[in-house]
């Protein structure tokens, strides 16, 4: 889902244009508070994703349980207020899908190295572009790790029918590998900085 594809129709578009589109999509998602423009934005982003060649829509299903849980929480805590909860829930769900689609489009069609060159050319500080590089570089790896862990847990017989056990069996190994990679990355960065000073 987060992997760059040079086969994307928009991969040759300048990074400045993609950044402007990404920012415009995010701002639009937060400006619109009515379901109709939110739905129009979500549909527009969906069409752009399809045109760009993105095909991993199954990953969008992973956000549904979190949205259902958030919707139940909103309904439970705000049901005694005078707010239009149905409108709020619909708008917030569409907003989340719009943000996810805009992010997917950006990561699918943007080469991280071209983005880094642009940031260096615009004289962004290293504190800004280094986390962007790390995020773009390691999100596909995290996704691969999660799929691998899920396959291993299925072989062990752990299934989504036991939600608590299933979630624990996925998250614990994933966090372990993430912390291990973060540690390796921190050591490599520290050694590189030390070598630059010497």
Q: Cα–Cα distance between 151 and 159 in angstroms, integer?
A: 10
- Predicted confidence (pLDDT) per residue in 176-198, tens digit: 998 888 888 788 877 887 887 76
Report pLDDT for 93: 92
Q: Is 27 a residue whose pLDDT tops 90?
A: yes
Rounded to an integer, the average pLDDT of 52-56 is 83
Q: Cα–Cα distance between 182 and 186 in angstroms, integer?
A: 6
pTM of the model: 0.70
Report pLDDT for 3: 67
Q: Is 79 a residue whose pLDDT tops 90?
A: no
3-state secondary structure of 192: helix
- Predicted confidence (pLDDT) per residue in 142-164, tens digit: 888 888 998 988 888 888 888 78
Report pLDDT for 2: 57
Please name which of 145, 138, 135 lies closest in space to residue 170, comparing C-alpha atoms.
Answer: 145
- Predicted confidence (pLDDT) per residue in 67-77, tens digit: 888 888 888 88
Give me the residue spans of the domains in the chain: 1-110, 122-198
């Amino acid at each position: 889902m987060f992997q760059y594809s040079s086969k994307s129709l928009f991969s040759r578009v300048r990074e400045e244009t993609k950044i402007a589109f990404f920012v415009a999509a995010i701002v639009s998602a937060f400006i619109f508070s009515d379901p109709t423009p939110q739905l129009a934005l979500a549909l527009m982003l969906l069409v752009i994703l399809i045109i760009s060649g993105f095909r991993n829509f199954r990953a969008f299903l992973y956000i549904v349980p979190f949205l259902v849980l958030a919707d139940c929480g909103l309904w439970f805590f705000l049901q005694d207020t005078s707010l239009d909860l149905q409108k709020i829930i619909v708008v917030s769900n569409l907003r989340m899908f719009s943000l996810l689609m805009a992010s997917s489009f950006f990561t699918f069609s943007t080469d991280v190295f071209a983005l880094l060159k642009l940031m260096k050319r615009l004289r962004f500080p290293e504190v800004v572009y280094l986390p962007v590089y790390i995020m773009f570089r390691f999100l596909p790896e995290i996704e691969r790790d999660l799929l691998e862990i899920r396959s291993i847990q299925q072989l062990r017989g752990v299934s989504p029918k036991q939600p608590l056990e299933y979630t624990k069996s996925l998250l614990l190994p994933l966090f372990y590998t993430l912390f291990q990679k973060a540690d390796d990355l921190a050591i490599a960065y520290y050694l590189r900085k030390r070598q630059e000073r010497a």
